[in-house]
């Protein structure tokens, strides 16, 4: 990027109120950088967005700081490496990290919408993702929240979201404005549509391997990602890519129509357009589907395009490393926004970094990885072994060098720790003791167990009902089996002589809650009744022992236990076996905060049911 760019940027922020540009940030969920023509892809998936890139700058080596939405969105909204993830606001989806229940936004943070609002912008969010809801700080910072959802579907399509946006622009939009538009058409599941045929083998028998919703049949759950089926062929992989490319091509067409509407409404020339993503997507790499998991390039390398005539020169391509925490400081610097005293960012102003005298940053980061142009180090907190890859010779990150090159691994890990020490400490010191706003659950891998000497801890990456070895161990017993593997967690026991009662505790903010327990959602396991036990909640309002009998389990396996009041910031429960050959399974405890007597929170029951259906359709909830 030439140094003349800095001279152009000096003009940003000058002039009166009318001269200030509008800002439109289009977020394409789960989009990979390597599928954009402006990034070198050869299948013509993004002709309209490539046109925008030609009028501005493309950052060719841009990365997300997290691998899934609820963690990534707060990261780039606040320019923070460490920040609370969005609370899922549903007891069926565990909180990202229970420690965040005792954390709050640090006082030096300010959100995208908050900064633009402080600088006189009218801020609006048009959103089709069910994770983003009112009551979240980053959503409430907007002047206006415009959800666009489609009945009976996981999300509203880009056509509908952008149509609603154009209607707002034509009818009521104050100037200047900051619009954040979150589109979902590139998110899993990748549905077959007209554009798919542009990239697919027309003779491929897709119905044999993919269901009508776009999910590969027989895919295997692995933590929060999915493994490809055992019989997944090269033809299957090509078709999966065609589905993804078709969804991206559809989205690109809608973005092109939106840009045309901006032109017709005389907004195009004075509007900064930003296009990026929250994370990428696995398309069979490492045998995986969807996103989340380890921060390999497939789920962290994402596009970043910016265009603003008169400020950003056209036809620019930057090869410097950049990351999503840079978005907020870059927009602030580009537009000359005043950052309030005491507020700061973890990222950098990319236009200030990219000069003829500066090579740019040396690394980009996630909370557990560090990447240079040549190497990537990943600290694997789930699977044990760390990872080291030489990206020049191994761009697919297939050959782990952690044992053969320990010196490079140690050097990169030290650099990771040094860079993130300050942000981590700031996050840990931002302590909260208030009751959470939304429902949440605490999974079994965070349980503290006591009261029995017969507790066996395991780390099994296998679904409970498919794990015959573990079931047999519990059946022979008597033993409690505690699986600590994230996202495959459970507590398992078999009612028989000698199985001792078990105390479960874990930290929980003080307050009143409706509490539930989630068990395996089946009526029997290996011919014996499932989920038969007694549970006592010492903090129960009524102080009673509750009989759980899974002979007729709820569809979701969730048993409602009643109301509790937590004091001392710790939850406790006592599981008692019964004299009947049967199984005990506990997956998680769900909590619905009651801020006031009778207050059941942020949504009515109908809204909750509809949101749950969308989360299920997106694959978040089984």
For every residue of 134-158, DSSP letters joined together read TTSHHHHTSSEEEE---TTSSS--H
Answer whether residue 191 shows pLDDT above 90.
Answer: no
Q: Can you list the alpha helix ranges (DSSP code H) found in 55-95?
A: 69-78
Contact yes or no for 531/583 (Cβ under 8 A) = yes
Phi, psi of 125 (to 5 degrees): -115, 125
Q: Please name which of 463, 441, 422, 553 lies closest in space to residue 88, comparing C-alpha atoms.
A: 441
Which of 204-208, 290-294, 323-327, 475-479 comes out lowest in average pLDDT?
204-208
- Looking at residue 577, its pLDDT comes to 95
In the block, residue with structure tokens 């990771």: 416
Answer whether residue 12 shows pLDDT above 80.
Answer: no
Please, which residues bridge with residue 457 across strands?
482
Contact yes or no for 612/516 (Cβ under 8 A) = no
Count CB atoms within 10 A of the CB of residue 616: 13
pTM of structure: 0.91
Q: pLDDT higher for 38 or 213?
A: 38
- Looking at residue 608, its pLDDT comes to 67
In the block, residue with structure tokens 């909204």: 77
Distance CA 372, CA 375 (A): 5
Query: Quick one: average pLDDT of 402-412?
Result: 97
- Looking at residue 354, its pLDDT comes to 52
Q: pLDDT higher for 285 or 163?
A: 163
Q: Using alpha carbons, list the distances in angstroms from residue 537 to 47, 454, 614.
A: 59, 22, 33
CA 239 to chain CA centroid, nearest Å: 25
Q: 435 exposed, middle or buried (CB, 10 Å; 0-12, 13-18, 19+)?
A: middle
The predicted-structure confidence for 575-622, as pLDDT tens digits, reads as follows 999 999 999 999 999 999 996 654 445 556 656 666 766 676 676 665
Contact yes or no for 390/343 (Cβ under 8 A) = no
- Looking at residue 606, its pLDDT comes to 59
Contact yes or no for 96/77 (Cβ under 8 A) = no
Answer whether residue 567 shows pLDDT above 90.
Answer: yes
SS3 sequence, 403-466?
CCCHHHHHHHHHHHHHHHHHHHHHHHCCECCCCCCCCEEEEHHHCEEECCCCEEEECCCCCHHH
In the block, residue with structure tokens 């402006």: 38
pLDDT above 90 as % of the chain? 66
Which range is most confident: 216-225, 415-424, 589-598? 415-424
Contact yes or no for 562/539 (Cβ under 8 A) = no
pLDDT above 70 as % of the chain? 88
Strand 558-566 and strand 480-483: pairing?
unpaired
Query: Quick one: average pLDDT of 41-62?
Result: 97
Which range is most confident: 152-156, 190-194, 412-416? 412-416
Answer whether residue 189 shows pLDDT above 90.
Answer: no
Q: CA triplet 81, 87, 91: central angle to 5 degrees?
A: 145
The predicted-structure confidence for 286-341, as pLDDT tens digits, reads as follows 888 888 888 999 999 999 999 999 999 999 999 999 999 999 999 999 999 999 99
Q: Please name which of 355, 284, 367 lies closest in space to residue 318, comparing C-alpha atoms.
A: 355
- Looking at residue 352, its pLDDT comes to 86
Contact yes or no for 299/262 (Cβ under 8 A) = no
Q: In what order do the strands lie in the sheet with 583-586?
A: 455-458, 480-483, 490-494, 583-586
């Amino acid at each position: 990027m030439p140094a003349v760019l800095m001279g152009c940027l000096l003009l940003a922020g000058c002039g009166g109120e009318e001269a200030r540009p509008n800002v439109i940030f289009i977020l394409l969920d789960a989009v990979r950088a390597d599928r954009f023509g402006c990034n070198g892809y050869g299948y013509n998936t993004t002709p309209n967005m490539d046109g925008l890139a030609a009028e501005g700058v493309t950052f060719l080596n841009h990365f997300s700081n997290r691998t899934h939405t609820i963690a990534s969105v707060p990261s780039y909204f606040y320019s923070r490496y460490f920040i609370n993830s969005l609370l899922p606001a549903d007891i069926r989806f565990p909180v990202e990290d229970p420690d965040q229940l005792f954390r709050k936004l640090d006082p030096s943070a300010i959100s995208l919408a908050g900064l633009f609002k402080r600088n006189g912008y009218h801020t609006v969010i048009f959103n089709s993702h069910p994770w983003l809801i009112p009551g979240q700080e980053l959503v409430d910072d907007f002047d206006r929240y415009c959800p666009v959802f489609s009945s009976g579907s996981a999300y509203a399509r880009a056509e509908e979201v952008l149509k609603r946006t154009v209607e707002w622009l034509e009818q009521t939009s104050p100037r200047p404005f900051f619009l954040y538009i979150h589109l979902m058409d590139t998110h899993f599941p990748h549905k077959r549509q007209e554009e798919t045929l542009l990239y697919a083998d027309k003779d491929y028998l897709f119905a044999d391997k993919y269901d009508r919703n776009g999910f590969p049949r027989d895919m295997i759950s692995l933590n929060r990602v999915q493994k490809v089926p055992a019989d997944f062929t090269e033809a299957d992989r090509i078709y999966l890519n065609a589905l993804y490319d078709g969804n991206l091509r559809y989205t690109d067409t809608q973005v092109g129509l939106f840009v045309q509407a901006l032109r017709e409404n005389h907004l195009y020339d004075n509007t900064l357009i930003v296009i990026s993503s929250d994370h990428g997507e696995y398309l069979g790499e490492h045998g995986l589907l969807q996103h989340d998991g380890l921060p390999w390039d497939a789920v962290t390398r994402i596009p970043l395009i910016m265009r603003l005539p008169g400020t950003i020169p056209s036809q620019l391509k930057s090869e410097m490393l950049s990351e999503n925490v840079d978005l907020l400081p870059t927009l602030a610097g580009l537009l000359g926004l005043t950052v309030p005293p005491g507020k700061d960012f973890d990222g950098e102003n990319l236009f200030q970094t990219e000069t003829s005298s500066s090579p740019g940053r040396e690394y980009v980061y996630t909370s557990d990885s560090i990447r240079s142009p040549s190497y990537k180090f990943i600290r694997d907190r789930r699977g044990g072994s760390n990872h080291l890859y030489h990206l020049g010779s191994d761009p697919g990150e297939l050959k782990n060098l952690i044992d053969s090159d320990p010196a490079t691994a140690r050097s990169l890990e030290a650099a990771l720790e040094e860079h993130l020490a300050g942000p981590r400490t700031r996050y840990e010191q931002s302590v909260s003791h208030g009751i959470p706003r939304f429902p949440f659950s605490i999974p079994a891998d965070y349980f503290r167990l006591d009261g029995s000497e017969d507790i066996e801890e395991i780390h099994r990456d296998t679904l409970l009902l498919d794990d015959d070895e573990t079931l047999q161990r519990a059946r022979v017993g008597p033993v409690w089996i505690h699986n600590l593997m994230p996202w495959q967690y459970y507590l398992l026991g078999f009612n028989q002589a000698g199985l001792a009662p078990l105390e479960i505790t874990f930290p929980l903010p003080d307050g009143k809650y409706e509490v539930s327990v989630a068990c395996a959602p089946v009526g029997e396991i290996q011919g014996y009744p499932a989920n038969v036990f007694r549970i006592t909640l010492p903090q129960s309002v009524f102080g009673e022992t509750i009989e759980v009998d899974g002979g007729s389990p709820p569809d979701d396996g969730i048993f409602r236990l009643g109301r509790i009041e937590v004091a001392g910031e710790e939850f406790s429960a006592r599981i008692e076996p019964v004299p009947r050959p049967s199984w005990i399974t506990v997956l998680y405890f769900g909590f619905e905060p009651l801020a006031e007597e009778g207050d059941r929170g942020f949504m009515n029951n109908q809204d909750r049911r509809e949101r749950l259906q969308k989360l299920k359709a997106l694959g978040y909830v089984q």
